[in-house]
């Protein structure tokens, strides 16, 4: 019995060692996961992009902005004239936070009447929580610093001063109650569409090759592009039905609002689905067997979820990982899904992501067709 078991073990080891590409995937995937989790996942988000509407333009307002930046939690990415323009910057994705400082800020600080407004994009859970906590801590620390400076200038006891010269009002946009499902459902639609389209299509060509029917296809008059289209359309229909199901269940069963244009959402989702189908066909074309295709699919889906901004915002990652994230279509569709579903944004605010996603679809389908044709040849 031991001899038979030993023979089977030896046989499997030889087969595994011969399939070096699959073996490399099995060995390198855990290391890749470790690197991504170590560098790409941050529960405490820093360097949140912030736009500033400084209507005071005095030393006190500059001191407050410096306190925000020096904390490491906020990076100023632009200046606007007022609250309306600040919200527009958040809608466009330029910033996740907007700081509005009213006129005569310095004189109001001296009278213990100063107030600032912090607008936070509520469609991103980790950004919202980090910005909320950081803003409160910074405001308290800055208020203490103001009181300390006043004590030193006036030579008064602390009991004679108002210890709250500055109030920060935080307004969370689009999800004021911080309900988790409002964050999850739009991102889940994007995640499931990517996972399903890649997984369903990744085995399309490999299955034909392993079944021995690829030779019959080669001698038929069908072209490579026609074969790819024929294998993609059933998966496309399944993916769009699932997207509709998730939107309907989230809205009617769980009470998640969908404030945007539903037709626009599904039109852009259709483009997004084609990107996943192209990526799946690429995997299927380069894979030698179904096990290799499944391993590649698992790795790409996992990396896409981490680097695409499904859970953790991209700007919190190192620049290298941000650039790697552009390889995955999820990176482009997450802002579209959350922008339309949570914010009610139109195409005028999403044209950058839509253009990038469309270009991605064209490139991945052309590349997948070429690779597929070369493998057939």
Q: What is the pLDDT of residue 159?
A: 44
Q: What is the pLDDT of residue 160?
A: 45
pLDDT, greater one: 304 or 35:
304
Q: How does pLDDT run across 152-208, given as a tens digit for each residue? A: 665 554 444 445 667 788 888 887 777 777 777 888 888 888 887 887 777 766 776
Q: What is the mean pLDDT of residues 278-297?
A: 82
**In degrees rounded to 5, what are phi and psi of residue 72?**
90, -5
**In 3D, which of 301, 321, 311, 350 has the Cα closest to residue 92?**
350
Are the beta carbons of 123 and 342 closer than 8 angstroms?
A: yes
User: Is 128 buried (19+), middle (13-18) or exposed (0-12) by CB count in 10 A?
Assistant: buried
Q: What is the pLDDT of residue 336?
A: 92
Q: Which residues contact 112 (CB under 8 A, 6 or more apart)?
A: 162, 164, 165
Q: What is the pLDDT of residue 333?
A: 92
Q: What is the pLDDT of residue 285?
A: 78
For 159-227, the three-class secondary structure string (H helix, E strand, C coil) is HHCCCCCEEEEEEEECCCCCCHHHHHHHHHHHHHHHHHHHHHHHCHHHHHHHHCCHHHHHCCCCCHHHH
* pLDDT mean across residues, the chain: 78
Q: Which residues contact 252 (CB under 8 A, 6 or more apart)?
A: none
Beta bridge partners of 115: 167
Q: How does pLDDT run across 54-93, given as a tens digit for each residue? A: 988 888 888 888 888 888 889 999 999 888 899 888 888 8
- Residue range 48-173 forms a domain whose CATH class is alpha beta
Q: What is the mean pLDDT of residues 204-232?
A: 66
pLDDT, greater one: 271 or 200:
271
Are the beta carbons of 106 and 60 closer than 8 angstroms?
A: yes
Between 69-73, 142-146, 157-161, 326-330, the lowest mean confidence (pLDDT) is in 157-161
What does the domain layout of the chain look like in residue ranges?
Answer: 48-173, 179-376
Q: What is the pLDDT of residue 25?
A: 55
Beta bridge partners of 98: 51, 119
pTM assigned to the model: 0.73
pLDDT higher than threshold 50 for residue 42: yes
Q: What is the pLDDT of residue 264?
A: 93
Token look-up 């889906």 returns 301
Length of the chain: 377
């Amino acid at each position: 019995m031991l001899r038979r078991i030993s023979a089977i073990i030896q046989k499997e080891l030889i087969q595994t060692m011969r399939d070096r590409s699959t073996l490399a995937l099995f060995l390198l995937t855990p290391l890749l996961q470790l690197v991504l989790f170590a560098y790409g996942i941050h529960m405490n988000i820093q360097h949140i992009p912030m736009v500033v509407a400084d209507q005071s333009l005095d030393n006190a307002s500059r001191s407050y902005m410096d306190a925000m930046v020096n904390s490491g939690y906020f990076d100023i990415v632009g200046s606007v004239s007022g609250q309306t323009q600040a919200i527009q910057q958040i809608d466009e994705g330029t910033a996740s936070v907007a700081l509005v400082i009213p006129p005569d800020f310095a004189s109001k600080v001296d009278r213990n009447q100063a107030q600032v407004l912090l607008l936070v994009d509520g469609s991103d859970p980790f950004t919202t929580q980090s910005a909320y906590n950081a803003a409160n801590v910074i405001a308290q620390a800055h208020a203490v610093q103001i009181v300390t400076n006043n004590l030193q200038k006036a030579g008064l006891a602390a009991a004679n001063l108002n210890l709250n010269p500055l109030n920060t009002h935080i307004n969370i946009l689009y999800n004021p109650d911080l309900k988790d499902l409002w964050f999850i459902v739009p991102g889940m639609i994007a995640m499931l569409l990517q996972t399903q389209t890649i997984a369903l299509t990744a085995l399309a060509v490999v299955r034909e090759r392993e079944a021995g029917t690829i030779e019959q296809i080669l001698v038929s008059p069908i072209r490579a592009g026609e074969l790819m289209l024929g294998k993609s359309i059933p998966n496309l229909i399944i993916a769009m039905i699932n997207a509709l199901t998730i939107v309907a269940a989230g809205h009617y069963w769980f009470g998640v609002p969908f404030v945007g244009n539903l037709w626009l959402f599904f039109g852009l989702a259709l483009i997004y689905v084609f990107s996943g189908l192209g990526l799946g066909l690429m995997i299927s074309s380069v894979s030698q067997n179904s096990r290799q295709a499944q391993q590649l699919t698992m790795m790409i889906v996992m990396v896409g979820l981490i680097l695409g901004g499904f859970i953790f915002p991209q700007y919190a990652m190192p620049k290298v990982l941000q650039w790697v994230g552009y390889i995955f279509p999820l990176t482009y569709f997450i802002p579209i899904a959350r922008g339309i579903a949570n914010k009610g944004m139109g195409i005028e605010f999403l044209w950058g992501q839509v253009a990038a996603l469309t270009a991605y679809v064209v490139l991945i389908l052309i590349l997948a067709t070429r690779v597929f044709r070369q493998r057939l040849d």
